[in-house]
Amino acid sequence: MDIDIIKPLVKPSKSKIVLVVMDGLGGLPRESDNCTELEAAHTPNLDRLAKKGICGLQQPVGPGMTPGSGPGHLGIFGYDPIKYKVGRGVLAALGIGFDLQPGDVAARGNFCTLDEDGAVVDRRAGRISTEKNQELCMLLKNITIPGVEVFVETVKEHRFLLVLRGKNLSGNLIDTDPQEIGKKPFEPQGLSSEAASTAAFVSQFLEQVRTVLAQQHPANMVLLRGFSTRPHWPSMQDAFGLKSAAIAGYPMYKGVSKLVGMDILETGNTINDEFTTLEKHWNEYDFFYLHVKKTDSAGEDGDFDRKVSVIEETDRELPRLLNLNPDVIMVTGDHSTPSVMKAHSWHPVPVLLSSKLCRPDKVDQFGERACLSGGLGNRFAAVDLMPLALAHAKRLEKYGA
Amino acid sequence: MDIDIIKPLVKPSKSKIVLVVMDGLGGLPRESDNCTELEAAHTPNLDRLAKKGICGLQQPVGPGMTPGSGPGHLGIFGYDPIKYKVGRGVLAALGIGFDLQPGDVAARGNFCTLDEDGAVVDRRAGRISTEKNQELCMLLKNITIPGVEVFVETVKEHRFLLVLRGKNLSGNLIDTDPQEIGKKPFEPQGLSSEAASTAAFVSQFLEQVRTVLAQQHPANMVLLRGFSTRPHWPSMQDAFGLKSAAIAGYPMYKGVSKLVGMDILETGNTINDEFTTLEKHWNEYDFFYLHVKKTDSAGEDGDFDRKVSVIEETDRELPRLLNLNPDVIMVTGDHSTPSVMKAHSWHPVPVLLSSKLCRPDKVDQFGERACLSGGLGNRFAAVDLMPLALAHAKRLEKYGA
């Protein structure tokens, strides 16, 4: 449901909502016992919440669509990721914790290989190492352009971040990446008249890059795409009347939380630390987002057992949350990361919503197959979750008389 | 599904569809036996229909959204309540059975208390009694304005209805209600140039109100909001090819039925009377909407047992409907009104659809948890119901060749 429909219904309340996101929670069965990670895990606390509450399986973006971390989170925060788009440049900035200022233009860069005629031979320069990338970025950091500040930051392997900071910049530019071998990179070009000066700055940057990298091999040039500025969206406070805080250790998740106006709480590295942070700030916020990263990392590594043990570790911390007596608890993931696939996937993600006002369903265990028959439904849009949480927290007025 | 998509597929037929709406049907479990009202009720006829037919749980407006009676009904009539909006003034008119004419402008009024400086002290004038309201409305009824007819009608407690009737009026006005204590009411103001003359009429009305109520306490002024005119929508005949009739005792439901072009059949006060009315007019219409009000009233009163008994009373009348041999029967509610909440709620509403052409599911009992696994699905949009009813009544052509 669109934020514009929900927003006028929001009413003040002292109720509290907690969203626990186990990154990449959804899985696929392993061969030995045909259980997914979540099904194999011993999770007495989650199972109890599932039994008392209402369950289902949510689709973060759309059918068959594998979400990146940004869109995966936006959906469960109540922002339809198809409507609330984040440019590739901004996502790159969020991913490395670069503090984008209003008006900054960010772009995703690739180191690439051009042949003697200037045509692209390899769009990723043989996927150079991150160390090599750092070395090259040191060279690019020396580039200066009159009229703008230039930031160049390593992301990973062949990928880097370019940020221009100055007055009247625009992200409305074409990509210079031709997306094809054998073609020359495109000249920077604005898609609107306001973008002309930004395009000129980018041209100057690329001219200097060409000189600086001339003797490098294989990374003798760069391609740029996804020019974008930090979007201006309604904050969680504006949209849903929720004073919101994020408890997350990794830059990407802090960044996405900032985009929707959450405060970022300082926290330690472990799940235990995160629950301590929750307890410490309990009285200060209406809404808490607590992010567990290592379910996803284990899934990406194809380490089924480690993913199981991170889920179990999270389950063991849950009584601390229950002791705080929140009005609504939601537990889900931003996407699935089945260990057997070693990657993000499109499979819908288990959700549980627990509150005194739930109409219970028949689900008495938190797992993919159990959630199939849950009252929240199956393959439902992730953006449905926030209005449901607000309703169960008695934070929405009636629609019409 | 949008009416514009369905409308071209409609074909003529002699088949008959009956929609029984038990107002506020959906519930929540009571503590003693963990049963909802519908689950606790003894409903052999509904259970038989559920077993032969297809069941599910519908969401009248959207996820987490608690419907008012107007939007709740529009959805099951096949009109998406997000698209087919009714102004607050029109809803107030419908609610008390005021016969709005095309071109009339209606507004919801509150009696309120202003301080000596004219700032709002109490937006509801201490929720004066309905009797006091009637007394004050008698005073306001004496107001005359050259160029328009003025109608003032008591709604309930501090609420009343204002209707202006005349030429070239517009409902495109701002509210005068500042929605905040300590602020002065806003001056009437048109949001478009056509609305300027209407705003002037409203100003004249308010000036006179100020004088008339000057010595009253606490209700010494009024606030107006939701200026609106009766919407012009496709009728059930236009949209779905259904000559339609409403069997409902209360003004609000007659009013909503009129908005979609139904004929309103005269009926008595009991459920028994309503089924008699149905029998009497059986040969005259394609579609009947039969409204049972007292499930909702019992829910609002928090009277679980009374809600159960109204459901059982409705169940006992059902054989009379079955004897008429309709092609499609639908039974549902316009929203949930759990007795334990004493209010409308967002919880999805049980539905059954019975016809010779149903593909049966495994549901053999009409109740919230049973319907969870029904063939119609869970948390599906209420607007899906009307096309499904038309299809089962063989009233829709193939889409495409």
Q: Could you report the per-residue pLDDT of A12-71, keeping only the tens digit for each?
A: 999 999 999 999 999 999 999 999 999 999 999 999 999 999 999 999 999 999 999 999
Contact B92 A401 (CB under 8 A): yes
- Non-local CB neighbours of A81 within 8 Å, separated by 6+ positions: A60, A61, A67, A70, A71, A72, A74, A75
The answer to whether residue B347 neighbours chain A at the CB level (below 8 Å) is yes
- Band the pLDDT of A391: cuts 50, 70, 90: very high
More confident residue, A252 or A209: A209
> Contacts of residue B379 in chain A, CB cutoff 8 Å?
375-377, 380, 384
Contact A380/A59 with Cβ under 8 angstroms? yes
Contact B28 A376 (CB under 8 A): no
Nearest to B372 among A361, A388, A390 (CB): A361
Contact A334/A347 with Cβ under 8 angstroms? no
Q: Over 90: is that where the pLDDT of A169 sits?
A: yes
Nearest to A399 among B26, B67, B341 (CB): B67
Contact A359 B377 (CB under 8 A): no
> Contacts of residue A357 in chain B, CB cutoff 8 Å?
28, 341, 345
For residues A113 and A216, give the distance between their C-alpha atoms in angstroms, rounded to a whole number. 9
Q: Hey, which bits of A88-129 come out as E strands?
A: 105-114, 120-122
Chain A: residue nearest B336 by CA? A359
> Could you say which residues of chain B have pLDDT below 70?
none
- A336 backbone dihedrals φ, ψ, rounded to 5°: -95, 145
Q: Which of B94, B110, B372, B373 to mutate to test the interface with A (most CBs of A within 10 A)?
A: B372
pLDDT of residue A265: 97
> Helices (DSSP H) in A26-114: which residue ranges?
37-40, 44-52, 69-76, 88-95
Alpha carbons within 13 angstroms on the beta-carbon side of residue A381 total 20
pLDDT of residue A95: 85
Average pLDDT of span A307-326 = 98
pLDDT of residue B88: 86
pLDDT of residue B29: 97
The answer to whether residue B62 neighbours chain A at the CB level (below 8 Å) is yes
pLDDT of residue B263: 96
Average pLDDT of span A186-212 = 97
For residues A302 and B399, give the distance between their C-alpha atoms in angstroms, rounded to a whole number. 46
Q: Over 90: is that where the pLDDT of A363 sits?
A: yes
The answer to whether residue A13 neighbours chain B at the CB level (below 8 Å) is no
- Band the pLDDT of A382: cuts 50, 70, 90: very high
Q: How far is CA B125 from the centre of its chain?
A: 27
Q: What angle do CA B47, B67, B30 make, to 5 degrees?
A: 50
- Helix orientation angle between B69-76 and B251-259, rounded to the nearest 10 degrees: 50
The answer to whether residue B365 neighbours chain A at the CB level (below 8 Å) is no
B361-383 confidence digits (pLDDT tens): 999 999 999 999 999 999 999 99
pLDDT of residue B251: 87
The answer to whether residue B95 neighbours chain A at the CB level (below 8 Å) is yes
Chain B: residue nearest A386 by CA? B64
For residues A144 and A140, give the distance between their C-alpha atoms in angstroms, rounded to a whole number. 9
